[in-house]
Chain A
Amino acid sequence: MTASPISHTLRPLAVLALLGIAAFPIYWMVVTSMTPSSELFAERPNLLPSLGQISIYGEVFRTIPVARWLWNSFVVAAGTTVFSILLAILPAYALSRFRFTGIAILGFALFATQMLPEAMLVVPLYSIFGKLSLLNSLFGLILANTAFVVPVITWIIKGAIDGIPLEVEEAARMDGCSRIDIVLAIVLPLIAPTLAAAAVISFFHGWNEYVFAQTLISSEQLRTASVGLASFVGELSTPIHAVMAVGVMYTLPAVIFYLFAQRYVVAGMTAGSVKG
């Protein structure tokens, strides 16, 4: 395919436009966080951040338990990631490699869990968690999130395992591997890029999750950042620049985690096919 000169110039412009649409809100969040309240509703909006206002971040840290919230969010996100991946690998392997009665129903049931909205499940979940004394605990929140993430990443991991030639596993069996040896020594290293992608998905789910965090946690101490951020919206006033500052801090770790994981995801895509 040869690109005509017009599309040659238009394509980068289109990319820039899309990038602008996606990135502008984040930029606006940064700018707003550094704009004094008095100028927020000025007739001419301030398009450049007033760097002098950077002290707002220190102030937010002093007055609001942002660090605590972020830490809680991190615990929940990391816990969700670890549990989900550990729990998804074996079912994914079974779905990919074993043929048994009911495999289609099982596969469908995994998908079906995704059709139910969180808001619908939150009430029964609340009562179950109450009986199991899992309310007001980050571990309980991790479990709830894990239950939602496992089906999704099970399917993703299954897809990756499908791509591994069966002969490679048979070669390992000839070399004396048991099934679990095969999964740990052969399959996992080969699907590492997919595991990274699955980690991104589960981490973000845990990091962003709001409904469960709001309902299952009542202690101020255990509040996650998503809930904390929402708690700013006061009845009388909303300190917009503080909200934006916390928002920036809430976004940054996620971006950093993504950049970290993305290296592996992309490395996997460019490292050549899995085929021996």
Chain B
Amino acid sequence: MSSIRFKNVTKSFGAKEVIRDIDIAVADGEFLVLLGPSGCGKSTLLRMLAGLESISGGEIVVGERRVDQLPPGQRDMAFVFQSYALYPHLSVRRNMTFPLLMQQFQWWYHLPLVGRMARNRIEKRPDVVTKIEKTARILALTEMLDRFPRTLSGGQRQRVALGRAMVREPQVFLMDEPLSNLDAKLRTSMRSEITALHREIGGTFVYVTHDQVEAMTMGTRIALMRDGVIQQFGTAREIYTDPANTYVARFIGTPPMNLIHASLSGDRASFGSSQLRLPQTYTTRAEVLLGIRPNAISIGQKEGAVPGRVVIVEHIGAESVIGVRLDEARTAHEADQSMDAVMVTVPGYTELAVGDAAYLSFDPAQAVLFSSTSGERLRP
């Protein structure tokens, strides 16, 4: 059993609180992604789980066991580092054997001659050799077992790091941005390899990334963090379709969710002379932010829809992104230094050009509302 539970975990460096009151739980076998911009505390949280960083308050429980006071080696977790952190002086085989060797290490193995012999014996034991070779086969490293890390490419090193984690068969795999040093193409293929690995070998994975695509595609659960606080914790779908606040709405999605200043009254959100009839009736009457994904908007040149003018057109092959500045309403995009324009995605190429008049129709079923003051989600 390797469920993970953070109970009110906090971390401070001096007076600065970098992790605030994290309280989440994931079940055995889940793939938890800690997502957020750099400096949000996601790596620190992972390192606290690993034991590389102490915790200032709260508890961490893995399975039935409280682990937050144990040294890293006793937590039964493997860590894959962004920089791979292979042992440069050991061959790939020895890198992968090292964790197994350490499991039965005696102090006298450090002695020059006798120790070397004892270590060699463990490294040559049939069960150890079988395990290493099986792991190497899964990761396509068989040819490289006797090479040294410095002769390997980035992707190969990353696989060695994964192999070193796998041979221990730990309860929990921890990965700190393991793909960010790879080029885009390799990243995509390693992404599916890690997902496949999770399916095959089971165990609970905790994965840190700032890349929303990695988070959405790999995670069974995502914890989106900002300034040491979890903004939302849920599945990729929940986070995408049902964002808890404007930060989540703007962090996820390319382009992110549009936020338009509107005033709410009952089931109507109005901005300028336009009105959008919402599926539910809200009890509050207030200034709100109307959130709508770029793909829930259709664009045309017919009168009667929300008028605006095209300010940007980007063709990305399969789809085009069109930015439209509304004639009678403003967006709340300046808050994150984005352009005051409603982004719309349409399939294929578009004939629209910058300066053209455009008319937008919103799909009310996919619209969500946020408080314009706190940014929190409004619910009916």
Contact = CB atoms under 8 A, between A and B. Distances in A.
Real complex partners, A and B?
yes
Interface stretch (A114-122, A167-175, A231-239): A167-175
A234 B253 CA distance: 91
14 contacts: A168-B87, A170-B85, A172-B98, A173-B52, A174-B50, A175-B73, A175-B168, A176-B73, A177-B73, A178-B73, A181-B102, A190-B89, A276-B85, A276-B157
Interface string A179-200: 0010011100110000000000
Contact of B88 (A172, A175, A184, A190): A190
B375 interface: no
B102 A175 contact: yes
Shortest beta-carbon contacts, A-B, top 10: A176-B73, A167-B85, A176-B102, A171-B85, A276-B86, A175-B99, A189-B89, A174-B79, A184-B110, A167-B81
Interface in A115-136: none
Nearest to A273: B150
Give the interface residue-count category, chain B: 20 to 34
Contacts of B81: 167, 170-171
B149 interface: yes
Interface string B93-108: 0000011001101000
Interface string B65-81: 00000011110011101
B83 A174 contact: no
Interface in A236-276: 272-276
Contacts of B99: 175-176
A contact face: mostly helix, strand, loop, or mixed = helix
Nearest to B75: A174
B105 A186 contact: no
A276 B110 contact: no
A186 B84 CA distance: 15
Given A177-B73, A274-B88, A185 B79 contact: no
Contacts of A185: 110
A168 B89 CA distance: 11
A165 interface: yes
Contact of B87 (A173, A178, A181, A276): A276
B72 A174 contact: yes
A44 B99 CA distance: 72
A172 B73 CA distance: 9
Nearest to B152: A276
A184 B52 CA distance: 20
A181 B85 CA distance: 17
A83 B35 CA distance: 51
A276 B52 contact: no
Given A167-B83, A173-B72, A174-B79, 15 more contacts: A167-B82, A167-B85, A168-B87, A170-B52, A173-B52, A174-B50, A175-B99, A176-B74, A177-B102, A181-B102, A181-B105, A189-B89, A190-B88, A276-B87, A276-B157
A39 B47 CA distance: 78
A175 to B, nearest CB: 4
Contacts of A168: 85-88
A228 to B, nearest CB: 34
Interface string B44-68: 0000001110000000000000000
B84 A276 contact: yes
B102 A165 contact: no
Contacts of B105: 176, 181
Given A170-B79, A185-B110, A276-B149, A175 B85 contact: no
B77 A174 contact: yes
Contacts of A172: 87, 98
Nearest to A173: B72
A168 B110 CA distance: 19
A172 to B, nearest CB: 8
Nearest to B161: A171
A244 B172 CA distance: 70
B112 to A, nearest CB: 11
A276 B88 contact: yes
Contacts of B73: 173-178
Contacts of A275: 83, 88
Interface in B133-163: 149-150, 157
Nearest to A186: B87
Nearest to A275: B88
Interface string A139-153: 000000000000000
Interface string A61-81: 000000000000000000000
Nearest to B100: A175
A165 B85 contact: yes
Nearest to B102: A176
A171 B52 CA distance: 10
A127 to B, nearest CB: 39
Given A171-B85, A177-B73, A181-B105, A272 B52 contact: no
Nearest to A176: B73
A272 B150 contact: yes
A189 B87 CA distance: 10
Nearest to A177: B102
